[in-house]
Chain A
Amino acid sequence: MEPSIYRYIIKFSLRQQIILTLMAIASFPFLYAFYQLPKMIIDDAILAKDTVFPVEVAGIELDQTGFLWLLCSAFLLLVIVNQGFKYIINLYAGITGERMLRRLRFDLFARILRFPLPQFRKTSSGEMVTMITAEVEPLGGFVGDAFKLPVFQGGYLLVILAFLFVQNWIMALAAVALYPLQGYLIPKLQRRVNLMGKERVRRVRELSASIGETAAGIQEVHTHNTARRELAVFSRRLGAIYDVRLQIYIWKFIIKFLNNSINQLGPFCFYAIGGWLVINGDLEFGALFAAIAAHKDLAAPWKDLLNFYQRQADAKIKYEQVIEQFQPAGMMEEDRQLGEPEGINALKGDISASGLSLGDDTGAILVDSASFTLDMTEHVALVGGGGSGKEETTQLLAGLLEPTGGNLQIGSEKIEDLPEAVTGRRLAYVGPAAYLFATTMRDNLLYGVQHVPLREASYDEEGRRAHDQWLAEATASGNSTDDPNANWIDYAATGTGDDEELLKRIFDVLQIVGLDDDIYTLGLRGNIDPASQADLASQFLKARAEFRDRLTDPDIAALVEGFDPGKYNENATLGENLLFGTPVGDAFDMDNLARNKYVISVLESQGLIDDLLDAGQQIASTMTELFADLPAGHPFFEQFSFISSDDLPEFQAVLTRINRDGVGTLRPEERTMILSLPFKISPARHRLGIIDEQLQNRILVAREAFAENLPEEYRGGIEFFDVDGFNTAATLQDNILFGKLAYGQAGGAERVGEIMSAVIDDLDLRTAVMEVGLGFHVGIGGGRLSGAQRQKLGIARAIMKRPDVLILNEATGSLDGAAQSALLTAMRSEMDGRGLIWAVHRASMAQDFQNILVMKSGRVIEQGNWDQLNKDGNELYELVKSE
């Protein structure tokens, strides 16, 4: 990266800077004219001592008024011309600055991608985020001004000064007499502020790193009850930032004070010296007037100029500060990462290490002169305890780390010299915590086969235009011009030709890693959009019909209570029974039905309010009876109570009032409070005996009224249960079920799941469900999946690209024993004929491997098959024994 911001600016925006400077220079004559004109207007047109009218201008004779009009029109024109110059220059500077900012950010991000791995232990992601976002932001503005501002404002200043000197050199000299002092003092003080600014930047960077760290370690904060400590540390950091900011303010305003005071010395000189000269008749009044006007305008460029030097110093520091963090030693060559070599062929030859060594920055030796030779196509287990170096060895093999000594090559090529286009496509590596991106399962699975854009995205006319524009702008900023919307999937790498085959392959791979059932379950919990998948929706409606048909079997009829518009569903809450649909959005949020005006109006029209108030009152009194003795915050509240421990005393008070004064005296919010309770009750589950048959029947009537009179504005807020219609807002599972699981049937959920699964299989819908499952969003870092699911998905992603050698580094630690051995068998057969190097986390997993490398303290100490090595006195024997 260029060592100083000026070099960076010149390298990437020299042309723009020249244009900006020329534009600034071109504007000066107009500027001078602009200051000259008022003098002409006053002296020649208004006072007109030396003018003889009519005057002839461009062949036309003008009297005094006409002349005045002409000069004033010229003045107006010059105003527009000067402002126009300003507008165009500023706009062009803005564009230049923004492009350079974009380029800088892009460069920095591209550098992060090429950092050596150990760097990520030193620089936290929080720091990188602030550097690329907030810290470089002001640099963009500075870039646009880098040359043009000093030229423009400096020139502006000179023009005005020149004008002043022409009027009267003594007065002009007096006006600028203190500029040298200012020019000396202010930057000096400013340097002090800049240093503090640098300190502030550093502290803010630390603050963001610490926020990021706390968020990442939130579980530890909870499990160790260290919130207070975290808060204290955070408070101290904020305090440190406050201190430095306060200092900055103090000095900033001192500078401002000095600056403004000195600036006001100018007018003082004009009034005093200029006035004295006018009184003595040595100066025209018009000249004084123009000089005062000019001087007023002198303050602005002078201030801008001083300001610019402050910003310049600041930008220099900032640039250097950021750049420093982005050039760690051992960064990968750009070409190795992004180069696209011709014809990437399958790797051939042996994998051989001789004297392979790796040390870290503390001087510890992680891999110590390891030597081994492996056939590319064999399956090898790496065994060793903690600190044995097997993990690092796998990372060296994958080209993730560079050896600090010795030699590691595939065939005749050193792995460290292979471009990522080869290591990233022909090799696959899965570590213990394979990272998942916050997108769908499908996108994660295909992440490993999207190296370059292969098929152009199709755009309509408007989209094409927007895309071209976007492309041109990216080129101007030196950014990537690849289209993220293109199809990047390398079908050939997955061994498929089109999307259909790819989907089949995905399912095969999911089966290998044992994720097929999980995907199916996720699919059942997913949604589909009937607008674009009408076919599928109708298939699932068939599944619903079939499922309902099977439920007529008396043995299982009791397991599900289906939705029936004419029947109160005992397993659903009162709220669900009233709405008889799935809420979409917040309008009919189940917890807030009592606050919904339309719901209340329906209940009122049915005369149900009093009954529900009565029911609410009974529930409240039962809850206070049951939970009153429990301490606040007891887990029972959360699990079982309709009233939180915080609200309990309030409810008690309200109940007492009702008993004493009657329901009529309740305030509106208290009524809502009581009224909200019955909506949550389901007769089968809560057994409170409050919602009797008579009330149920009246709710049914209300249900009809609710649907019938639903106002237009609420139409989108609910999707009604309709036995013949697919419910968009509900999951596939709920669509098939079309009812509620009956409460309290032993093993009910499992049996219903089995029936549903049978129906889905019979209707050949399993792949459709799984496809929906592939659209499941895995959450940040795969947080919505279990640890085992994440590991399986990580391995599946690696298998998808059919690598020549698959390297696993303790990649199955979260799996249980059975899943692990199933995976081991499936992987061995999938990788048959291709290389598999597996650093196992338990020595016994190596049993089936023909070639076993045992490592200890960074060295390969044993190599052979299980029978050869598993003998008393051997390291492998010890490792197996100690399991």
Chain B
Amino acid sequence: MSLNEEVEVLRSVPLFAKIEPSKLKLLAFTSERLTFPAGGELFHQGDPGEAAYIILSGQADVVIDTPTGEMAVAKVGKNDLVGEIAILIDVPRTATIRAETEITTLAINKDLFFRMISEFPGMAVEIMRELAHRLEATTAQLREASNG
């Protein structure tokens, strides 16, 4: 997969959707492409977060630890972004991501991400907007839940 294709994938991620293509290209170029074998972990619940991953190909399970053992709660696949919360704020990983098949990702390193944001404030605005959307959606869900 070449750089241009990676840029296409990045554009399909909502968090990055409205960012200029040339900036996305820089983000893609400076990010590391990482391949995990099937069964490998992108990260483990409780670990400090260093990078977010955009899945370029393959599938992975989202697994959380429960008192009764591990529980798979969701699946992620192509074009999904995982681990972005941990690079925005310093919280430990809230779940484990384990590759189901061999999986190729674009790893966006925390430092790199903040460098990009501080260099291109437009990007920060877009990301803020996206996060506000999410908050709005969560609040709506919460309201629905408490009403219903």
Most buried by B among A625, A640, A687, A746: A746
User: Please, which residue of chain A has its CB at the minimum distance from the CB of B1?
Assistant: A687
Q: Mark B42-61, 1 if CB is under 8 A from A, else 0.
A: 10000000000000000000
Q: Does B30 contact A (CB under 8 A)?
A: yes
- B6 contacts A687, C-beta separation under 8 Å: yes
Q: Which of B2, B6, B34 contacts A746 (CB 8 A)?
A: B34
Please encode chain A, from 628 to 641, with 1 for each CB lying within 8 Å of some chain B CB and 0 for all others: 01110011100110
Q: Do B25 and A625 have beta carbons less than 8 Å apart?
A: yes
Q: Does A627 contact B (CB under 8 A)?
A: yes
CB distance from A690 to the nearest CB of B (A): 9
Contact in complex: A744, B22 (CB < 8 Å) = no
Question: Once bound together, how far apart are the Cα atoms of A686 and B26, in whole Å?
Answer: 12
* Residues on B with beta carbons closer than 8 Å to the beta carbon of A745: 34-35
Q: Convert A461-488 into 0s and 1s, putting 1 for each residue whose CB lies closer than 8 angstroms to a CB of B.
A: 0000000000000000000000000000
- Tally chain B residues at the interface, Cβ within 8 Å: 23
- CB contacts (< 8 Å) of A631 on chain B: these are 119
Query: Is there a chain B Cβ closer than 8 Å to A555's Cβ?
Result: yes
Chain B residues, Cβ within 8 Å of A686: 3, 29
Which of the residues B29, B33, B37, B104 comes within 8 Å of A626, measured between beta carbons? B29
User: A668 on the interface (CB 8 Å rule)?
Assistant: no
Q: Is the CB of B115 within 8 A of A625?
A: no
A625 to chain B: which residues have CB within 8 Å?
A: 22, 25
**B-contacting residues, A723-761, CB 8 Å:** 743-747
Q: Which residue of B lies closest to A635 (CB)?
A: B115
A635-B115, A744-B33, A746-B36 known; A689+B22 contact, CB < 8 A: no
Is the C-beta of A822 less than 8 angstroms from some C-beta in chain B?
no
Asked if B4 is an interface residue, CB under 8 A from chain A, the answer is: yes
- In the assembly, what is the distance between CA of A402 and CA of B32, in Å? 60
A residues in contact with B3, CB < 8 Å: 622, 686-689
Chain B residues with CB under 8 A of A635? 115
Q: Which residue of B lies closest to A688 (CB)?
A: B3
Contacts of B36 in A (CB 8 A): 746
Among B1, B4, B26, B104, find the residue whose CB has the most chain A CB atoms closer than 10 A: B26
B26 touches A626 (CB 8 A): yes
| Contacting residues, chain B, for A555 (C-beta < 8 A) | 37
* Residue from B2, B30, B34 in contact with A689 in the complex, judged by beta carbons closer than 8 Å: B2
For chain A residues 609-659, which have a beta carbon within 8 Å of chain B? 622, 625-627, 629-631, 634-636, 639-640
Residues from 10 to 48 in B contacting A, C-beta threshold 8 Å = 22-23, 25-26, 29-30, 32-37, 40, 42
Cβ contacts under 8 Å, A636 to chain B: 26, 30, 115
In Å, the complex CA distance between A629 and B23 comes to: 9
Question: Chain A nearest CB: distance from B108 CB in Å?
Answer: 14
In the complex the two chains form, what is the Cα distance from A235 to B107 in whole Å?
49
Q: Contact mask A292-333 → B, CB, 8 Å, 1/0?
A: 000000000000000000000000000000000000000000
Q: B residues within 8 A CB of A626? A: 22, 25-26, 29
From A629, A743, A747, contact of B120 by CB (8 A):
A629
Q: Are B40 and A747 closer than 8 Å at their CB atoms?
A: yes
Chain A residues positioned under 8 Å from B35 (CB to CB): 558, 744-746
Q: Are A640 and B32 in contact, with the CB atoms below 8 A?
A: no
A629 to B37, CA, bound (A): 37
Give, as a whole number of angstroms, the nearest-CB distance from A755 to chain B: 15
List A contacts of B4 (CB < 8 A). 689
Do A640 and B37 touch across chains, with their CB atoms under 8 A apart?
A: no
B33 — nearest CB in chain A belongs to which residue?
A744
> A630 CA to B112 CA in the complex, in Å?
14
Chain A residues with CB under 8 Å of B119's CB are 629-631, 634
Task: Encode contact with B along A531-567: 1 for CB under 8 Å, 0 otherwise.
Answer: 0000000000000000000000001001000000000
The residue on A at minimum CB distance from B120 is: A629
Q: Chain B nearest CB: distance from A623 CB in Å?
A: 9
Q: B32: which of A558, A622, A630, A744 is its contact (CB, 8 Å)?
A: A744
- Contact between chains at B34 and A744 (CB < 8 Å): yes
Q: How far is the CA of A745 from the CA of B40 in the complex (A)?
A: 11
Point out which of A626, A629, A631 has the most chain B C-beta atoms below 10 A from its C-beta.
A626
Query: In the assembled complex, which residues on chain A have CB atoms less than 8 Å from the CB atom of B1?
Result: 687
State the Cβ distance, B96 to closest chain A Cβ, in Å: 14
B37 surroundings in chain A (CB, below 8 A): 555, 746
Closest to B38 in A: A555
Counting chain B CB atoms within 10 Å of each CB, the highest count among A635, A636, A639 belongs to A636
Instruction: Name the interface residues of B87-110: CB closer than 8 Å to any CB of A.
Output: 104
Closest to A625 in B: B22
Cα distance A492–B53 when bound, in Å?
Answer: 60
Which of B2, B22, B29, B40 is packed against the most chain A CB atoms within 10 Å? Answer: B29
CB proximity of B148 to chain A, nearest CB, Å: 43
A746: chain B residues at CB < 8 Å are 34-37, 40, 42
Partner of A640, one of B22, B29, B34, B42: B29
**Contact (Cβ within 8 A) B2 A688:** yes
**Inside 8 A of A630's CB, which chain B residues have their CB?**
119
Nearest-neighbour CB distance to chain B for A621, whole angstroms, equals 12
Contacts of A629 in B (CB 8 A): 22-23, 119-120
CA distance A586 to B105 in the complex (A): 38
Closest residue of A by beta carbon distance from B103: A746
Is A627 touching B40 in the complex (CB atoms < 8 A)? Answer: no
- In the complex, what's the smallest C-beta–C-beta distance from A874 to chain B, in angstroms? 39
Given contacts A558-B35, A639-B30, A745-B35, 15 further A-B contacts (CB under 8 A): A622-B3, A625-B25, A626-B22, A626-B25, A626-B26, A629-B22, A634-B119, A640-B29, A686-B29, A688-B3, A689-B4, A744-B35, A745-B34, A746-B34, A746-B37
Interchain residue pairs with CB less than 8 A apart (20) = A625-B25, A626-B25, A626-B26, A626-B29, A629-B22, A629-B119, A629-B120, A635-B115, A636-B30, A639-B30, A640-B29, A686-B29, A687-B6, A687-B33, A688-B3, A689-B4, A744-B104, A746-B37, A746-B42, A747-B40
Q: What residues make up the interface of A, taking CB atoms closer than 8 Å to B?
A: 555, 558, 622, 625-627, 629-631, 634-636, 639-640, 686-689, 743-747
* Chain B residues near A (Cβ < 8 Å): 1-4, 6, 22-23, 25-26, 29-30, 32-37, 40, 42, 104, 115, 119-120
A-B complex: 3 closest residue pairs judged by Cβ atoms: A689-B2, A744-B33, A746-B36
